[in-house]
């Protein structure tokens, strides 16, 4: 497929290929980084992915976004591909056999029942008198036999399901021995056996990166680190001096695994450890995470902090404001109804369930979850729980808005909430929503995770409660709602919000790029001549 840009040839500081393992939409940090880098004079191509369907491309300011279709055959675990005689010896092998056998048993039972009925209501249609006598004898045995067979097949099918679950979770004694042996034998290279699905990303992105011939690769997070490092190595072997920037969003050993299997953490951490030394520069989201990364990977230089800050609120016209969805209107409530907002990715570790459990103790207070997909099963489960508590009419789920609208969208609420639980990554960063709530000038209610609780106490912009403490959360919300102006006054402190803007962070990122490529002359790029598949 030929993709042509309307851009004429233009002079740039250099070509930057950014990598991210998502569909870009909804990832405000990556969108802002691509858009601001392109505005600063870099020729930016942002590569993301789609997990189903065809790829597509569009413009994000002066940056080009390309989504590549991801195929994941290597994501299937051994138990999903092979029969495990040790784990469940009576299980059917993976594939369609179990479903076939279950359907076959049902068909036999249905046939036996029909033949019995036919002997009663239409014996003349069954056959001769001798055949009917023989049929009766056969059916005496066929009935119990078909029932036993159906139970046996059901048992084996259940064994197959359990084998598949155990094979995906990889937590049994044999699995633990397998993991330990590969870690001992291969060390950082063990991910090739523990998390081979990482090769699916390489095989999706690799050729596309090579064709773009970047001067700098900006790899977002741990999966893209390996993809970027391998592309850098290939380019240097071909005689091109490509630089690699690793943008570490989280401290991987402290992440709650994205998949329910025991290989996920050791496999991905081994992969990260192997390729971290290839980075020419590391940027990350907080000083705490920078310290951890430097210690874990033995980095020669301290990673540069680029905060997950929102765009600086611009002067708006009435027309601009009209384009921003009205949060209260989406919730079906008026301006005087107390409204708490949570904005961001959902999940049990993020404390949304705690907020729902608190609703019966917060008379008249409404909660809005601003999430990527309000119809997701987890969100719908929370909505159902609110109904069980008699507060279903006070919980609302609404979709994301574009990142440049977030601050004005959230400003319609009365309180911004961050009820996250104690996980290592939650302790070390001021996360995106902290800054978004701040620019929306919302009083905050945050759990006592280290960095955010310290910031909220130091600035006076909110109340802190013990994580997972429902009564503590309720008390914090009531305190803020009782005197919101006290907390909003913190935002009047000169300079507090100035550095919490993406514009300030974009300058930091531009300096990182410029330092790495300082010896290069400005180059001319003609996008119209490019072809991608």
Tell me the pLDDT tens digit for each residue of 33-68.
999 999 999 999 999 999 888 889 999 999 999 999
Q: What is the total count of domains within the chain? A: 3
Domain annotation covers residue 516 = no
Residues 88 and 71 in one domain: no
The verdict on 111 and 256 lying in the same domain is no
Cα 12 to the center of its chain, rounded Å: 33
The residues near 478 (Cβ < 8 Å, ≥ 6 apart) are 362
Q: pTM for the full model?
A: 0.76
Residues 327 and 412 in one domain: yes
Same domain, 462 and 437: yes
- Per DSSP, 87 falls in state T
- For residue 346, count CB atoms less than 10 angstroms from its CB and return exposed for 0-12, middle for 13-18, buried for 19 or more: buried
Q: Is 488 helix (H, G, I), strand (E, B) or coil?
A: helix
- Domain residue limits at 412: 318-500
Say yes or no to pLDDT of 524 above 90.
no
Whether residues 386 and 484 fall in one domain: yes
Judge whether 375 and 367 are in contact, CB under 8 Å. Answer: no
User: The domain that contains 205 carries what CATH number?
Assistant: 3.40.50.2000
Regarding whether 481 and 439 lie in a shared domain, the answer is yes
Q: Give a yes or no: residue 204 inside a domain.
A: yes
Question: Based on the domain organization, do 324 and 456 belong to the same domain?
Answer: yes
Provide the pLDDT confidence category of residue 533 given band limits of 50, 70 and 90.
very low
What CA–CA distance (Å, rounded) separates 278 from 245? 9
The mean pLDDT of 527-533, rounded to a whole number, is 46
The pLDDT, as a whole number, for residue 87 is 67
| Claim to verify: residue 133 and residue 265 sit in the same structural domain | no
Q: Is the pLDDT of residue 434 over 90?
A: yes
Mean pLDDT of 398-409: 92
On whether the CB atoms of residues 305 and 287 are closer than 8 A, the answer is yes
- With pLDDT > 70 as the criterion, what percentage of the chain qualifies? 89
* Rounded CA Rg of the chain: 29
Residue 519 lies in a domain: no
Q: What is the pLDDT of residues 464-522, one digit of tens each?
A: 999 999 999 999 999 999 999 999 999 999 888 888 899 999 999 999 999 999 866 55
- Asked, for residue 424, whether it belongs to a domain, the answer is yes
Q: How sure is the predictor about 532, in pLDDT bands with cuts at 50, 70 and 90?
A: very low
Stretch 404-416: mean pLDDT: 94
Does 3 score more than 50 pLDDT? no
Output the CA angle 54-34-523, nearest 5 degrees: 105
Nearest residue to 223 via CA among 197, 242, 261, 188: 197
pLDDT at 529: 46
- What's the residue count for the chain? 533
Mean pLDDT calculated for residue range 361-377: 95
The values of phi and psi at residue 298, to 5°, are 60, 40
Q: Looking at the domain assignment, is residue 128 inside a domain?
A: yes
State residue 495's pLDDT score: 85
Token code pair at residue 237: 């072997």
169-225 confidence digits (pLDDT tens): 566 666 677 777 878 888 889 888 888 889 999 999 999 999 999 999 999 999 999
Asked if pLDDT for residue 528 goes beyond 60, the answer is no
- Cα dihedral sign for 134, 140, 146, 149? negative
Q: Is 340 left (phi over 0), alpha (psi -120 to 50) or beta?
A: beta
pLDDT of residue 511: 96
**Do 301 and 348 have their domain in common?**
no
For residue range 71-82, list pLDDT tens digits in order.
877 766 655 555
Q: Are the CB atoms for 444 and 487 separated by under 8 Å?
A: yes
| pLDDT band, very low/low/confident/very high, at 160 (cuts 50, 70, 90) | confident
Percentage of the chain with pLDDT > 90?
58
Q: Is pLDDT of 83 > 80? A: no
Is 392 found in the same domain as 334?
yes
Domain ends where: 246, 277, 305?
305
- What φ, ψ does residue 372 adopt, rounded to 5°? -60, -40
Q: Which residue has the tokens 């030394």?
A: 277
469: in domain? yes
* 389 and 468 belong to one structural domain: yes
Residue 178 in domain: no
Tell whether 364 is covered by a domain: yes
Which stretch, 151-160, 308-317, 463-472, has highest mean pLDDT? 463-472
Residues 17 and 128 in one domain: no
280 vs 319, residue with greater confidence? 280
């Amino acid at each position: 497929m030929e993709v042509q840009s309307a851009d004429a040839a233009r002079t740039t500081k250099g070509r930057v290929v950014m990598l991210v393992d998502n569909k870009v939409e909804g990832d405000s940090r990556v969108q802002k980084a691509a858009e601001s880098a392109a505005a600063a004079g870099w020729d930016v191509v942002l590569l993301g992915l789609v997990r189903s369907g065809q790829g597509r491309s569009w413009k994000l300011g002066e940056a080009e976004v390309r989504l590549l279709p991801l195929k994941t055959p290597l994501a299937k675990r051994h138990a999903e591909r092979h029969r495990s005689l040790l784990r469940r010896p009576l299980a059917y092998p993976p594939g369609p056999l179990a479903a076939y056998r279950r359907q076959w048993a049902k068909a036999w039972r249905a046939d036996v029942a029909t033949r019995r009925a036919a002997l009663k209501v239409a014996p003349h249609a069954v056959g001769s008198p001798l055949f009917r006598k023989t049929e009766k004898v056969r059916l005496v045995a066929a009935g119990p036999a078909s029932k036993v067979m159906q139970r046996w097949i059901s048992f084996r099918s259940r064994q197959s399901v359990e084998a598949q679950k155990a094979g995906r979770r990889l937590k049994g004694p044999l699995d633990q021995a397998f993991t330990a042996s590969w870690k001992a034998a291969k060390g950082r290279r063990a991910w090739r056996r523990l998390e081979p699905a990482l090769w699916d990303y390489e095989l999706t992105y690799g050729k596309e990166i090579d064709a773009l011939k970047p001067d700098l690769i900006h790899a977002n997070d741990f999966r893209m680190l390996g993809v970027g490092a391998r592309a850098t190595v290939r380019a240097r072997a071909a005689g091109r001096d490509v630089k690699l920037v690793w943008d570490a969003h989280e401290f991987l050993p402290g992440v709650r695994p994205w998949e329910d299997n025991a290989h996920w953490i050791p496999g991905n951490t081994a992969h990260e450890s192997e390729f971290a030394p290839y980075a020419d520069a590391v940027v990350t989201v907080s000083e705490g995470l920078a310290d951890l990364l430097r210690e874990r990977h033995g980095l020669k230089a301290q990673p540069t902090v680029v905060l997950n800050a929102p765009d600086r609120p611009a002067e708006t016209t009435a027309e601009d404001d009209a384009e921003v969805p009205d949060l209260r209107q989406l919730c079906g409530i008026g301006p005087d109804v107390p409204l708490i907002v949570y904005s961001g990715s959902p999940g049990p570790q993020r404390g949304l369930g705690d907020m729902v459990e608190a609703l019966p103790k917060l008379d008249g207070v409404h909660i809005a979850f601003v999430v990527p997909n309000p119809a997701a099963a987890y969100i719908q489960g929370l909505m159902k729980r609110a109904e069980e508590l008699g507060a279903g009419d006070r919980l609302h789920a609404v979709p994301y808005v574009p990142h440049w609208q977030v601050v004005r969208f959230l400003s319609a609420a009365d309180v911004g909430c961050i009820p996250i639980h104690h996980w290592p990554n939650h302790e070390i960063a001021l996360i995106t929503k902290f800054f978004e709530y701040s620019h929306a000038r919302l009083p905050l209610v945050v759990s006592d995770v280290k960095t955010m609780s310290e910031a909220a106490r130091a600035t006076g912009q909110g109340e802190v409660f013990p994580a997972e403490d429902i009564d503590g959360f309720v008390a914090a919300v009531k305190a803020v709602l009782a005197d919101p102006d006290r907390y909003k006054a913190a935002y009047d402190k000169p300079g507090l919000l100035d550095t919490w803007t993406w514009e300030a962070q974009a300058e930091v990122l531009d300096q990182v790029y410029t330092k790495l490529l300082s010896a290069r002359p400005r180059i001319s790029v003609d996008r119209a001549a490019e072809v991608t598949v």
